[in-house]
Amino acid sequence: MSLLVCSSIGWISHSEGGFFNAIMSFPSNYPNSPPSVKFTSEIWHPNVYPDGRVCISILHPPGEDPNGYELASERWTPVHTVESIVLSIISMLSSPNDESPANVEAAKEWRDRRDDFKKKVSRCVRKSQEML
């Protein structure tokens, strides 16, 4: 399933006006296992791996977190819908979690060098606008 995430309100004002493409892929045993979401547009965010994979709790397999960072109740359950996933992604984009980052460099910039972070996000937004 293709998604187009439009950022009218984003994790910083510099993300406004961005159009970020993503793919949501469903495993054969869905809904018992979560889909995966991967941005195909360049995006700079603490909770998006450099290859575009989205890292949010509800997309992690059900059960206890082997690393102890998440409660089982925060992870995937079959009651989640495409809508709840998209809403979680929008929330993630609005409120980065730099405590458990997928992109460590983006998280460091978000915390320590906010101006550098904003410049990279602005570059991604401009690039996304050129792709339309």
The full DSSP string for the chain is: -EEEEEESS-SSGGGTTEEEEEEEE--TTTTTS--EEEE-S----TTB-TTSBB--GGGSPSS--TTSSS-GGGS--TT--HHHHHHHHHHHHHS---SS-SSHHHHHHHHH-HHHHHHHHHHHHHHHHHT-
Q: Is 124 a catalytic residue?
A: no
**What total number of domains does the chain contain?**
1
CATH assignment at residue 11:
3.10.110.10
Question: Token digits for 44?
Answer: 């700079």
110 in a structural domain: yes
Domain range for 103 is 2-124
- Per the domain annotation, does 32 fall within a domain? yes
The rounded radius of gyration (Å) of the Cα atoms in the chain is 15
Catalytic choice (43, 55, 85, 107): 55
pTM: 0.89
| 129 within a domain of the structure (yes/no) | no
Question: In this structure, is residue 83 part of a structural domain?
Answer: yes
Write down the mean pLDDT value for the chain: 90
The verdict on residue 130 lying in a domain is no
Question: What digits encode the pLDDT tens for the residues 18-74?
Answer: 888 999 999 999 999 999 999 999 999 999 999 999 999 999 999 999 988 899 999
